[in-house]
């Protein structure tokens, strides 16, 4: 890979200090039996991943992405490189560092890396990149996008069926259009289940990792009468789950299956299959079928959906579960068009 300036060399030096894990892009792993992780040309595929500020251990978005890497490592024998980001200023240097270390494919985990990747990707035309939740228009970048509003609609629909107080809430990490998609779908689903349900004004805490802020926001919503609060806040969302458990009420998890974080107090989790998107992108690269552009994972493709509700399905009951399953089929069939923006939400609610 070529370097264009001393500035990029400096960025590499800083970012290398943040590298985590023992397997660098130059290390060798034992190959499993079966198909091996060879890139076109016969060499072992080297895959880098730059995490958002929540990092590994968030039990949410970043952990889901890492699960896709781990699956690919087990099945294909790839060599992986993981980098933690402490803040947004780390993104460009981290992406540069991983590309400089010779990775064939680099994942940028999160919408906040869009600007950094737009700067870095053109400098490495022979490296493939993939970014989650953002569109980057470049010949070597794949954008992994999700219909979060569809999975969130099902979460809201279930909440609308289950709530006893007829009030539910929502806590978001950042006040971004992406997170508003979660809220729009959630509110629409709840109103579809029961027009009398009040969806309280959403709380945005401005962080992906401040558990205390999320817990305080959830406590406020519970104090306003909500008995179910959905979060889309990454690691910070663990505070919402803690608040629900303390009050004997329900949280709704996100991205990964978070039901076991507080057994019986997480109604369900809206699972976003970042792991599958990461795995498929690695598989495509190995097979020589990587393509740039947007790849969308929706309810029909099982890119989003609800957890199996291992600890709550008995409380939810067969009738409610059957109604949720029926609603899922309606969305998949196109009979229900889920709103993805606040304007679309207003129009949808007016149509009910």
250 strand-pairing partners: 228
CA distance 352 to 349: 5
Number of domains in the chain: 2
DSSP for residue 44: B
Whether residues 10 and 136 share a domain: the answer is yes
Backbone torsions φ then ψ of 285, nearest 5 degrees:
-65, -40
Residue pLDDT, tens place only, 174-183: 999 999 999 9
CA distance 190 to 41: 52
Return the pLDDT at 86.
Answer: 86
**Mean pLDDT of the region 311-317:** 97
Whether residues 259 and 217 share a domain: the answer is yes
- Who wins on pLDDT, 318 or 34? 318
Residue 38 banded pLDDT, cuts 50, 70, 90: low
14 pLDDT more than 70: no
Whether residues 165 and 139 share a domain: the answer is no
Residue 53 banded pLDDT, cuts 50, 70, 90: confident
Return the pLDDT at 37.
Answer: 60
Residue 139, domain extent: 6-146+274-297
CA distance 259 to 214: 18
Whether residue 347 is contained in a domain is answered as yes
Whether residues 234 and 140 share a domain: the answer is no
Residue 61 banded pLDDT, cuts 50, 70, 90: confident
83 pLDDT more than 50: yes
CA dist list (Å): 58 to 50, 119, 167, 171, 254: 14, 27, 28, 16, 11
Return the pLDDT at 12.
Answer: 42
Least confident of 30-39, 188-197, 237-246, 272-281: 30-39
Residue pLDDT, tens place only, 128-156: 999 999 999 999 999 999 999 999 999 99
Whether residues 122 and 41 share a domain: the answer is yes
Whether residue 162 is contained in a domain is answered as yes
Contacts of 91 by beta carbon, 8 Å cutoff, 6+ apart: 50, 85, 108, 112, 113, 115, 116, 117
Residue pLDDT, tens place only, 18-37: 443 334 454 433 333 345 56
CA distance 265 to 247: 9
């Amino acid at each position: 890979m070529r370097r264009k300036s001393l500035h990029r060399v400096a960025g590499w030096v800083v970012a290398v200090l943040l590298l985590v894990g023992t397997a660098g892009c130059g290390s060798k792993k034992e190959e499993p039996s079966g198909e091996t992780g060879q890139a076109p040309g016969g060499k072992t595929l080297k895959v880098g991943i730059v995490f958002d500020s929540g990092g590994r251990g968030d039990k949410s978005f970043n952990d889901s992405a890492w699960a896709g890497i781990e699956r690919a490592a087990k099945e294909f024998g790839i060599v992986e490189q993981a980098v933690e980001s402490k803040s947004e200023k780390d993104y460009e240097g981290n992406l540069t560092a991983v590309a400089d270390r010779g990775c064939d494919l680099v994942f940028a985990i999160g919408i906040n890396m869009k600007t950094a990747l737009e700067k870095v990707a053109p400098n490495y035309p022979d490296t493939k990149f993939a970014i989650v939740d953002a569109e980057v228009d470049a010949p070597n970048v794949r954008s992994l996008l999700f219909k979060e509003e569809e999975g969130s609609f099902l979460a809201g629909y279930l909440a609308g069926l289950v709530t006893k107080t007829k009030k539910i809430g929502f806590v978001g990490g950042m006040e971004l259009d992406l997170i508003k998609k979660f809220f729009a779908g959630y509110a629409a689903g709840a109103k579809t289940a029961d027009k009398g349900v009040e969806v309280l004004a959403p709380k945005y805490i401005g962080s992906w990792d401040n558990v205390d802020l999320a817990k305080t926001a959830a406590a406020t919503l519970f104090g306003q009468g909500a008995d179910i609060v959905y979060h889309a806040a990454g690691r910070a969302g663990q505070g919402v789950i803690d608040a629900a458990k303390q009050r004997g009420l329900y949280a709704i998890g996100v991205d990964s299956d978070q039901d076991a974080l507080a057994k019986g107090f997480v109604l369900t989790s809206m699972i976003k299959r970042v792991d599958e998107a990461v795995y498929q992108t690695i598989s495509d690269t190995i097979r020589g079928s990587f393509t740039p552009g947007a790849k969308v994972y929706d309810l029909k493709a099982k890119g989003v959906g609800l957890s199996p509700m291992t600890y709550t399905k008995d409380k939810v009951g067969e009738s409610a579960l059957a109604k949720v399953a029926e609603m899922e089929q309606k969305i998949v069939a196109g009979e229900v068009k889920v709103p993805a923006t606040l304007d679309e939400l207003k129009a949808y609610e007016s149509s009910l």
